[in-house]
Amino acid sequence: MNRYPLWKNILIGLVLFFGLIYTLPNFYGEVPAVQVSSGKATLKLDSALAAPIEQALRDAQVPYDGLFVDANSIRVRLASTENQLRAKDAIEKRLNPDPSDPSYIVALNLLSASPTWLTAIHALPMYLGLDLRGGVHFLLEVDMPGAITKRLDATAGDLRTLLRDKDVRHAGIVREGNAIQLRFRDAAQRDAARNAILDSTRDLQLVDRDDGSTDLKLIATLTPVAQQTIRDFAIKQNITTLHNRINELGVAEPVIQQQGADRIVVQLPGVQDVAKAKDILGRTATLEVRMVDDSPGALEAALAGNVPFGTELYTERGGSPLLVRSQVVLTGDRLTDAQPGFDGQTNEPAVHLTLDAAGSRIFRDVTRENVGKRMAILLIEKGKGEVVTAPVIRSEIGGGRVQISGSMTTTEANDVALLLRAGSLAAPMEIIEERTVGPSLGADNIAKGFNSTLWGFIAIAVFMSGYYMLFGVVSVIALAANLLLLVALLSLLQATLTLPGIAAMALTLGMAIDANVLINERIREELRNGVSPQAAIHTGYDRAFDTILDSNITTLIAGIALLVFGSGPVRGFAVVHCLGILTSMFSAILISRMLVNLIYGRRRKVESLSIGQIWKPGKAS
């Protein structure tokens, strides 16, 4: 009765075999590598790029031992850090002939040193969290009210254009809080405006308001659906923008994910220069094109502290003051590309902008109507604006190709282009959580977590083998199998392993031994009651099963609650804890039983079990 059918033994053997294979990559450690990924959204990376990379390495005589192509990147494995740096230079030179406008990101990375056949079957080492490998973690919150306000400002501009096109006369359009207020002199114009607006957009709800003043008012608010769309768009746009910006940082494996309705997690493994990372992330720069108020006397009045209504005072690059109208002609949303370059005639450094269709139309109209006047291009960062340049409009500019030039160095042109190209954020963001872990602490954490688990395991192993003899050894083997399967599962799922995760691993092992203690105690008890050894094994396992199931389910309930509500370190703990409970059920019951069956099940006559001394009440010892 203590024999498993062959298929069961084979099945358990197979599980252990796969466990072993998927655990293997963790033992190989890591080797230096160079990772190439696309630096532009329009540029797709494919295996065709492998040839020039190999060529570049051959030309530079850098030995490499493996080149891997996956969906988003190509990685080259190298023998030493010295070769890594040389390879990076060689590849960089080959792929990015123009360093000011890199098409590809060439970054230093680490790759698993495991053999290629393991990588081919997706047996990868565990994915280490930032607290173990070092790096920066940011949690950013998108300012959704800001996104709505911004959209309303743009809408107010659109409404002005619309009413002008439809020949509807109004007495002013302004945004007040979360609504746009349109004023009219008479009811006929208001009706005409209402019809025109309702024909052109479904995003606005219109309400009449007559509050006794001379003007008739129409109040436009965004519909809930439109607001939701704006929110969704804002977070998607910001994620895309962050992707572009982080690409410029050249981080090998960045993580950029939405969390909840209005938050974005950014993880930059290996990045130590937090200041630079924050600088690039935190640049909530948006581009705005506005007209300059050049009316005589206005600037003087503004400088005297009396800024005329509808204008704002800014300082131009170079220090001279400039009066700019509040009304926004165009925002960075309309921008599709920005490239540094040179002015065709003067050979001055310049930035070439490309606008989308709507932007091109607006730009053409504005430039046509304002020839001879100045227009200001502003970068708005954290609510503060800076006039990048304020050129004079010489002629109508159509076709959506705009050039910004004047008082810029080549570096500045590059910076401005980069900032604009990286895309403007749909809404400002704020860092609400930051976690930086230095590389030395990461290595320490791994060592500490590993040592805790190792010594705890040894202590348990010594005790169990001493106390339960052969059955103790079986329990320890089952526990080791549990660890193996847990590591294999974590590697297979590529779940993030953090220090609390390692702690959970240790704790799970400490708790998992419970199942074997229960079984062994039951078997002893049966023997004490005078049951034959074979029957004792059978009933011992049978009876213990219910208890093991119950107690594991209660532990699992706690684990799942942590998984659902936990964030950050707690989640890392919960994932390992939950997986560990599952693997421990398998190993403590099935694997230990298989071993016991193999040892005792085949014998015809078993006199005694090696489970330590069985003390029987009544027989004094």
By CB under 8 A, what part of segment 500-519 binds another protein? 500, 503-504, 506-507, 509-511, 513-514, 517-518
In the set 3, 169, 368, 448, which binds another protein (CB under 8 A)?
A: 448
Three-state DSSP state, 429 = strand
Q: How far is CA 222 from CA 121, 231, 480, in A?
A: 52, 12, 61
Residues 263 and 144 sit within 8 Å (Cβ to Cβ): no
Q: Which of residues 579-618 bind another protein (CB under 8 A)?
A: 612-615, 617-618
Q: Is 463 in the site for another protein (CB under 8 A)?
A: yes
DSSP 470-535: HHHHHHHHHHHHHHHHHHHHHHHHTPEE-HHHHHHHHHHHHHHHHHHHHHHHHHHHHHHTT--HHH
557 makes contact with another protein (CB under 8 A): yes
Instruction: Tell me the window of 96-104, 112-120, 201-209, 567-575 that interacts with another protein (CB under 8 A).
Output: 567-575
Longest dimension (CA), the chain: 115
Within 314-333, which residues bind another protein (CB under 8 A)? none
Residue 391 binds another protein (CB under 8 A): no
Q: Is 535 in the site for another protein (CB under 8 A)?
A: no
| Cβ-based neighbours of 324, under 8 Å, separated by 6 or more | 290, 291, 292, 293, 311, 312, 313, 314, 376, 378, 387
- Beta strand segments in 215-269, E: 216-222, 255-259, 263-269
Q: 13, 433, 494, 610: which one contacts another protein (CB under 8 A)?
A: 433
Could you tell me which residues come within 8 angstroms of residue 375 by beta carbon, excluding any fewer than 6 positions away?
289, 290, 291, 292, 329, 366, 367, 390, 391, 393
153 or 434: CB nearest another protein: 434
Within 239-278, which residues bind another protein (CB under 8 A)? 272, 274-275, 278
**Residue 29 C-beta: closest distance to another protein, Å:** 21
Q: Are strands 335-342 and 349-355 parallel, antiparallel or unpaired?
A: antiparallel
| CA count, 13 A, side-chain hemisphere, 132 | 19
Q: Which of residues 124-163 bind another protein (CB under 8 A)?
A: 131, 139, 141
The smaller minimum CB distance to another protein, of residues 124 and 560, is found at: 560
Alpha-helical segments (H) within 532-600: 533-565, 569-585, 592-596
Q: Which of 570, 582, 598, 606 binds another protein (CB under 8 A)?
A: 570
Interaction of residue 445 with another protein, rule CB under 8 A:
yes
Q: Which is nearer to another protein, 371 or 447 (CB)?
A: 447
Q: Please tell me whether residue 455 binds another protein under the rule CB under 8 A.
A: yes
Please identify, using beta-carbon distances, which residue of 39 and 559 lies nearer to another protein: 559
Near another protein by CB under 8 A: residue from 21, 60, 85, 441:
441
Residue 550 within binding range of another protein, rule CB under 8 A: yes
Query: Which is closer to another protein, CB of 157 or CB of 572?
Result: 572
Q: Which of 19, 250, 449, 601 binds another protein (CB under 8 A)?
A: 449
Report the residue from 66, 102, 391, 569 that binds another protein according to the rule CB under 8 A: 569
The residue (of 54 and 444) whose beta carbon lies closer to another protein is 444
The separation between CA 460 and the C-alpha centre of its own chain, rounded to angstroms, equals 39
In the list 103, 295, 326, 565, the residue contacting another protein (rule: CB under 8 A) is 565
Distances (CA, A) of 235 to 144, 198, 240, 258: 9, 27, 9, 8
Nearer to another protein, 65 or 550 (CB): 550
Please say whether the beta carbons of 537 and 2 come within 8 A. Answer: yes
Q: How many Cβ atoms sit within 10 Å of the Cβ of residue 606?
A: 15
DSSP β-bridge partners for residue 325: 311
Q: Which of residues 141 and 203 has its CB atom nearest to another protein in the complex?
A: 141
Taking the CA of residue 406 as centre, how many other CA atoms within 13 Å lie in the half-sphere pointing to its CB? Answer: 14
**Residue 350 contacts residue 413 (beta carbons within 8 Å):** yes
Instruction: Write down the least CB distance from residue 188 to another protein, Å.
Output: 49
Residue 19: CB minimum distance to another protein, A: 21
H helix count then E strand count, the chain: 17, 22
Tell me the closest approach of the beta carbon of residue 621 to another protein, in angstroms: 8
Q: Kindly state whether residue 559 participates in binding another protein, applying the rule CB under 8 A.
A: yes
Which residue from 312, 342, 435, 535 is in contact with another protein, where contact means CB under 8 A?
435
List the one residue from 96, 327, 452, 539 that touches another protein (CB under 8 A). Answer: 452
Q: Which is nearer to another protein, 36 or 486 (CB)?
A: 486
Q: Report how far residue 596's alpha carbon sits from residue 304's, in angstroms, rounded to the nearest whole number.
A: 94
**Residues forming beta bridges with residue 204, ordered by sequence position:** 222
Smallest distance, another protein to C-beta of residue 420, A: 23
- Positive or negative, the CA dihedral 34, 36, 37, 39 is positive
Complex with another protein: residue 92 or 143, whichever CB lies closer: 143
Structure tokens at 23: 């655990």
Residue with Cβ nearer another protein (3 or 448): 448
* Backbone torsions φ then ψ of 328, nearest 5 degrees: -90, 125
443 forms part of the interface with another protein (CB under 8 A): no
**Hunting for tokens 């040193």 — which residue is that?**
113
Q: Inter-axis angle of helices 274-282 and 224-249, to 10 degrees? A: 140
Closer residue to another protein (CB): 282 or 308: 282
* Residue choice 203, 294, 415, 434 for contact with another protein (CB under 8 A): 434
What's the rounded Cα separation, in Å, for the pair 327 and 335?
Answer: 18
User: Is residue 483 a contact point for another protein (CB under 8 A)?
Assistant: no
Count of C-beta atoms within a 10 Å radius of residue 199 = 10
Distance in Å, CB of 549 to another protein, minimum: 9
- Nearest distance from C-beta of residue 509 to another protein, angstroms: 6
Nearer to another protein, 143 or 333 (CB): 143
C-alpha–C-alpha distance, residues 520 and 529, integer Å: 14
**Interacting positions 275-304 with another protein (CB under 8 A):** 275, 278, 282
| Least gap, CB of 128 to another protein (angstroms) | 15
- Closest distance between another protein and the C-beta of residue 450, in Å? 9
Binding residue for another protein, selected from 464, 536, 575, 609, defined by CB under 8 A:
464
**Quick one: which segment of 191-199, 204-212, 320-328, 453-461 binds another protein (CB under 8 A)?**
453-461
Q: Least distance (Å) from another protein to the CB of residue 520? A: 9
